[in-house]
Amino acid sequence: MNILILNGSPKGQYSITLQTVRYLEKCYPEHTFEVLHVGQRIKALQKDLTPAIEALARAELIVFSYPVYTFIAPWQLHRFIEMIKESGISLEGKYATQITTSKHFYDVTAHRYVEENCHDMGMKVIRGLSADMDDLLSEKGQREARDFWEYVCFSITNGHHEPNLLQNVAPKHAEVHVPEANGEEKTGDVVVLTNCEAEDRQLARMIERFRAVLPRKTRVINIREYPFRGGCLGCFNCAVSGKCIYQDGFDDFLRNTVQSAQAIVMAFTVKDHSMGASFKLYDDRQFCNGHRTVTMGMPMGYLVSGNYSTEFNLQMVVEGRAQVGNNFLAGVATDETDPDGEIDKLARTLDYALTAKYVPPQNFLGIGGMKIFRDLIWLMQGMMKADHKFYKKHKQYDFPQKKRGTMLKMYLVGALLASPKIKSKMGNAMNEGMMAPYQKVLDRLDREREKEVK
């Protein structure tokens, strides 16, 4: 596959984000990687865009690689995207994804900015990788990079891409067809959690189709049928013991019947700009788990009937729920257009996530949300004992003041930069020094491959 890397960093080859690309290039030598330093060469490209146009025409997959700058991408990449759109070159049907590095401060808005522009140009968008600046230096980060690339290849092979939710879609409530069962034995356990009413045949048929095409066993739980004694009272009775004050058995039902599944798919019809009051009752009562992300690593998905494409706040809630819980959002299948195709895609992606155990790193919605919870539980540990025990066990108290070595290094760097004389003598030493640990990762990979060849 011919892959074009649009390096939006003004640092060019010294971009930390680009090192993840280089790592993937070494891991997957069967692909051809071409790098265009659009961030560093923006002035030259403004005079002559021909090299970029030729490279874009050759590419089968376009990867936007850039650091997140102030909510979105660097200005240089902004300008390049403007120029491409103004040039009139057709990128219709080409696949696009992105790789960013940051400290996760609004990386989600940066990714959506690129995605929306790709959709404007008719490209097929695959959800990108949002990595921490230091992720590539750890085995976990390296694995996440490889897992991301495998997901990109899986998506292209199966023709999967993210829908353009900003386009005018019609008709609403397109017909859903339920295929005949093929008789194959299914394994696994996926819960379809719904509040479907008896007269809501559209949502019922979406659930039926999903169960028919998913190659795994499913259970349907209608939360309308659960005998709730009432809604959450905010009494904090569960803070110490994890047991709800209501004696209706919901806490045991939640943990043993719902959260014991391999994956959870929520099915609902949009009502009053939400999932409906019955789902809100269920969500509030989940506070018996406190702030504990007990389903982390579990993939999840949604079957939605209604005008989901216009419900931007609901979309943020759906994505934020998955991110804070550290769950892979396998997709949101709606009935606004081609519901059969959307449901089938969700089923395939969910099955892939379960098979590959795919859990991508969190973006700003997840990282930011968990830092807020982290600080809250640390302060309230005397009362929220169950949460505190969980956070300690899962090493979620990752306070920056613990990293004294890094802090001392920054004092040293600050002192060097404060001296104009020393700074003038440094030349490119700082960039070279920043690249050194990443180069070690790449060199080690080369040595390992050389051993394999021998």
Digit-by-digit pLDDT tens for the chain (454 residues) are 999 999 999 999 999 999 999 999 999 999 999 999 999 999 999 999 999 999 999 999 999 999 999 888 999 999 999 999 999 999 999 999 999 999 888 899 999 999 989 999 999 999 999 999 999 999 999 999 999 999 999 999 999 999 887 665 555 577 899 988 777 889 999 999 999 999 999 999 999 999 999 999 999 999 999 999 999 888 888 887 778 899 999 999 999 999 999 999 999 999 988 999 899 999 999 988 888 888 999 999 999 999 999 898 899 999 999 999 999 999 999 999 899 999 999 999 999 999 999 999 999 999 999 999 999 999 999 998 889 999 999 999 989 888 888 889 889 888 888 888 887 878 788 888 889 999 999 999 999 988 888 7
Q: Are residues 321 and 448 in the same domain?
A: no
Q: Are residues 96 and 193 in the same domain?
A: no
CA distance 170 to 309: 11
82 in a domain, yes or no?
Answer: yes
Q: Are residues 29 and 68 in the same domain?
A: yes
Lookup: tokens for 19: 């090192």
Domain boundary residue, one of 366, 388, 423: 366
24 in a domain, yes or no?
Answer: yes
CA distance 20 to 438: 9
Q: Are residues 128 and 233 in the same domain?
A: no
221 in a domain, yes or no?
Answer: yes
CATH of the domain at 197: 3.40.50.360
Domain that holds residue 441: 403-453
Q: Are residues 191 and 148 in the same domain?
A: no
CA distance 158 to 184: 22
180 in a domain, yes or no?
Answer: no
Q: Are residues 199 and 298 in the same domain?
A: yes
Total number of domains constituting the chain = 3
Strand, coil or helix: what is 271?
A: strand
Q: Which residues contact 415 (CB under 8 A, 6 or more apart)?
A: none
What residue has token string 């990979």? Answer: 445
119 in a domain, yes or no?
Answer: yes
173 in a domain, yes or no?
Answer: no
Q: Are residues 76 and 215 in the same domain?
A: no
Domain boundary residue, one of 157, 175, 197: 157
Q: Are residues 125 and 208 in the same domain?
A: no
CA distance 92 to 119: 9
- What distance lies between CA 377 and its chain's CA centroid? 25
Strand, coil or helix: what is 196?
A: coil
Q: Are residues 9 and 115 in the same domain?
A: yes
Q: Are residues 433 and 319 in the same domain?
A: no
CA distance 276 to 28: 46
383 in a domain, yes or no?
Answer: no
375 in a domain, yes or no?
Answer: no
Q: Are residues 139 and 198 in the same domain?
A: no
Q: Are residues 30 and 123 in the same domain?
A: yes
Strand, coil or helix: what is 288?
A: helix
The whole model's pTM is what?
Answer: 0.84
